[in-house]
Amino acid sequence: MSGFFDEMTREELSRDGRLRRQAMLMGGAALAATAAGSLLPGGARAAAVGGTGKPIDFLFAIYPNGTLLDFAGPNEILSRIPNTRVRFASPAGGPVTLEKGIVFGPTEKLADVTKVDVICVPGALDLSAMMKPETLEHVRRLSEAAQYVTSVCTGSIILAASGVLKGKRSACHWAFLNVLKEYGAIPDAARVVKDGRFMSGGGVTAGIDFGMAIAAELRGAEAAQQVQLLVQYDPQPPFHAGNPADAPSKVRDAVYKMLPGSKDGLMRPIL
């Protein structure tokens, strides 16, 4: 064990400790490793892959009642690419209670973040914490200076509400997709969408595909593929019902009833 720790710098140890403490609030050692993105099964460190390149400051802007997988999925990818600092900020800072009562944190206070290279806004049904004018202003401020402005799921509605997506194509969860029009954005049903420096993923699980895409954009396709192999991202779902076009009609109609307005992509988030 001493040889293992000798190879790690103090900075790496400090970073791993922060991430483990942060993830442990989410419950369970296995989940801690997944959320932190710093360990492989068996406790081995996840190797940084690809070329180093310019240091990248990547921020997830999370919030109360947010969806864990929207940012945990892409974080699993992005935390493994080299020379990249992944940060988490929220409107109030500190621990954040997500959907299902999962507590994640601590986080930085969004107002205290001065500048980042990439901002990513994940989604949720309840967007109210991010739709306050002062919070949208911080999203807009960071987005204007960022190299890339990104989102997963309904996070694109938050970006659109901040004013930064006017005239830009964007993905969103299919049930909410056309809500983007109300803020001047152009809905795009693709799983991952790129429009200049704006990148977005569709609903929830599309965040992993988005993570792969932005990793390739930042560090190249080979580095992204190395991470894909490291995390064994080789999806083979037992069913093909992940979007309305593919789902059996009985399944699709049942979900339409669960989600009012979703048939037309106009389900209303909580604002």
Angle in degrees, CA 61, 62, 66, rounded to 5: 145
The answer to whether 133 and 152 have CB atoms below 8 angstroms apart is no
The count of other CB atoms within 10 Å of the CB of residue 11 is: 8
> Cα torsion for 184, 245, 191, 266, to the nearest 10°?
30
The answer to whether 119 and 78 have CB atoms below 8 angstroms apart is no
In 53-177 the beta strands, taken as DSSP E runs, fall at: 56-61, 84-90, 96-97, 103-104, 108-109, 118-121, 148-152, 169-170
In the chain the beta strands, taken as DSSP E runs, fall at: 56-61, 84-90, 96-97, 103-104, 108-109, 118-121, 148-152, 169-170, 186-187, 192-195, 198-201
Distance between CA atoms of 269 and 126, rounded to whole angstroms? Answer: 6
Distance between CA atoms of 246 and 258, rounded to whole angstroms? Answer: 18
The answer to whether 57 and 89 have CB atoms below 8 angstroms apart is no
Catalytic residue among 68, 96, 153, 208: 153
- Examine the residue annotation and report whether 153 is marked as an active-site residue of this protein: yes
Name the residues annotated as catalytic: 153
